Amino acid sequence: MNPSFQAALVINIFLILGFLIAVVAYREDLGAKFSPMLAVAAALGLCLLPPTIASYSAANGQVYSFEDYSLQNFLPIFIGFLILFAIYIFDLIGGLDESNEFFILCLTSASLLSSVLVYTFLLFRIRHNGT
């Protein structure tokens, strides 16, 4: 495995761990002030994970990171759901805030429409390319 790819993966894993710690620490007295910021930073890190995997596999001459390319396309959407469920845990612990609720609805709508977008892309690809 490429060393810079390993470094990118390690950074992403640290961000994901930070995200999980932020979720757990949210209601603690010490963690309550910085954990939402940490969670946002980690959510951005999570969003960077699928493009990192895709770009490095493309740079290594391999077009798809996974055996089946639909998995590569759907990965960001599942990461969106991971963020959603984590925010939902925030809400279950801290009570449903209106801006959080709007964010949940916005991200759910985006995920719903993104899966339509990805499926449309796959159908077009089958039509133009054969597979």
Partner 1 sequence: MELRIIAVIVVSIFFFLSILMSIFPIMNPMSGHDAIMKAMTPYFIVYPFLILILTMAVFFLFKSLDADTRKKAVFLYVAVAYLFTMLTLHISCFSIKIVSS
Closest CA to 39 of 102, 76, 85, 101: 85
Q: Give the nearer residue to partner 1 in terms of CB position, either 17 or 117.
A: 117
Residue 103's Cβ-side half-sphere holds a number of Cα atoms within 13 Å equal to 16
Q: With respect to partner 1, which residue has the nearer C-beta, 29 or 98?
A: 98
Burial string for 67-77 (b: 16+ CB within 10 Å, else e) reads eeeeebbbbbb
Q: Is 93 in the site for partner 1 (CB under 8 A)?
A: no
Spell out the residues 6+ positions from residue 81 whose beta carbon is closer than 8 angstroms to its own.
111
* Binding positions for partner 1, 21-80, rule CB under 8 A: 36, 40, 43-44, 47-51, 53-55, 57-58, 63-64, 68-80
Kindly state whether residue 81 participates in binding partner 1, applying the rule CB under 8 A: yes
**Least distance CB 123 / partner 1 (angstroms):** 7
Does residue number 115 form part of the binding site for partner 1 (CB under 8 A)?
yes
Count H helices and E strands in the chain, helices first: 4, 0
Q: What angle do CA 81, 97, 108 make, to 5 degrees?
A: 25
# of chain residues touching partner 1 (CB under 8 A): 67
116 binds partner 1 (CB under 8 A): yes
**Interface with partner 1 (CB under 8 A):** 36, 40, 43-44, 47-51, 53-55, 57-58, 63-64, 68-81, 83-85, 88, 91, 96, 99, 101-126, 128-131
